[in-house]
Amino acid sequence: MSTQGRVALITGSGRGIGEVVAKKFAENGSKVVIIDVNPESIDRVVKEIRANGGEALGIDADITQKAQVEDMFKKTVDHFGRIDILVNNAGIAKDKSILKLTEEDWDSVINVNLKGTFLCCQSAVAYMREQKYGRIVNISSRAWLGWPGQANYSASKGGVVSLTRTLALELAKHRITVNCIAPGIIQTPLFDSLPENAKESLLKVQPTGTIGDPADIAYGVLFFASEDSGYVTGQVIFICGGKSIYSSLSV
């Protein structure tokens, strides 16, 4: 799964899944761009990658703001000369039942998870189309299939799947592939922050009885981003320990 020498930009890569994805790209010989809204996290990840012999650039940007998104891609191309791989990983969740869900809860989740993905794809494609090469990997969620208390999150992630499929058709003639990863429960700071009873409930409906590791997602991303996957586009891979085919709602 070669990404040697390719330039990969990963949103939300200051921690969690995005951080691990960025480090795996660096280990695989890619030049990586760390995008996050937390400057301290960006600096830490960039320093760790460079300390291990990798090439990294850090940019503080809010992906819901078009001007900031356009600027981060310009900085990437100015620094590395090109952009080959985009991983849309940044996302937030504000889970509530429908009658408790506020308009702000809805808008903020849709803006980051769906609008942000759209803006990043749009800016990346402007460069990738000229190169006649590109790999876009969007991070959705098993939740796009639906889950109680996640109307906003599920809708946003379902939109990511639909966006992926549409862009795959639009961009295939330009040798740009667009694919999607749908993770299940993964060991991240977000999961760690949940109350113990919430963690127990999630594990009860997990077929494997275990949670995934961020590296599980990173390997899936590397496949879609590699030189070897040029004939794969518009696809969704569930990395969820079987949760996508398990329908129990006894939580």
234 in a structural domain: yes
Neighbours of 247 (CB within 10 A): 8
Kindly state the helix (H) or strand (E) to which residue 132 belongs, with its residue range: none
Starting at the earlier edge strand, list the strands of the sheet with 176-183: 55-60, 31-36, 7-11, 85-88, 134-139, 176-183, 236-239
How far is 206 from 167, CA to CA, in rounded Å? 32
Question: Three-state SS for 200?
Answer: helix
2 in a structural domain: no
Q: For the packed helices 116-131 and 66-80, what is the interaxial angle rounded to 10 degrees? A: 30
Looking at residue 156, which CATH number applies to its domain?
3.40.50.720
Query: Which amino acid, one-letter code, is at 189?
Result: P
**What are the phi and psi torsion angles at 2 (to 5°)?**
-85, 130
What is each CA distance from 243 to 101, 133, 182, 234, 249, in whole angstroms?
25, 34, 11, 21, 11
Closest CA to 150 of 110, 183, 117: 110
- From the CA atom positions of the chain, what is the Rg in Å? 17
Neighbours of 119 (CB within 10 A): 21
Catalytic residue among 153, 219, 231, 246: 153
- The predicted pLDDT at position 248 comes to 53
In the annotation, is 133 catalytic?
no
81 in a structural domain: yes
Expressed as residue numbers, the domain containing 14 is 7-241
Tally the C-alpha atoms within 13 A of residue 197's C-alpha that lie toward its C-beta: 1
- The predicted pLDDT at position 247 comes to 56
- The predicted pLDDT at position 12 comes to 97
- The predicted pLDDT at position 251 comes to 44
- The predicted pLDDT at position 44 comes to 98
Ranges under pLDDT 50 in the chain: 250-251
How far is 34 from 155, CA to CA, in rounded Å? 27
Query: Which amino acid, one-letter code, is at 71?
Result: D
Tally the C-alpha atoms within 13 A of residue 223's C-alpha that lie toward its C-beta: 14
pTM: 0.94
246 in a structural domain: no
Q: Residues 201, 206, 208, 214: what is their CA dihedral angle, to the nearest 10 degrees?
A: -90
How many structural domains are present in the chain? 1
Question: Three-state SS for 178?
Answer: strand
93 in a structural domain: yes
Closest CA to 93 of 32, 170, 12: 12
Task: State pLDDT tens for residues 130-167.
Answer: 999 999 999 999 989 988 889 999 999 999 999 999 99
How far is 9 from 87, CA to CA, in rounded Å? 6
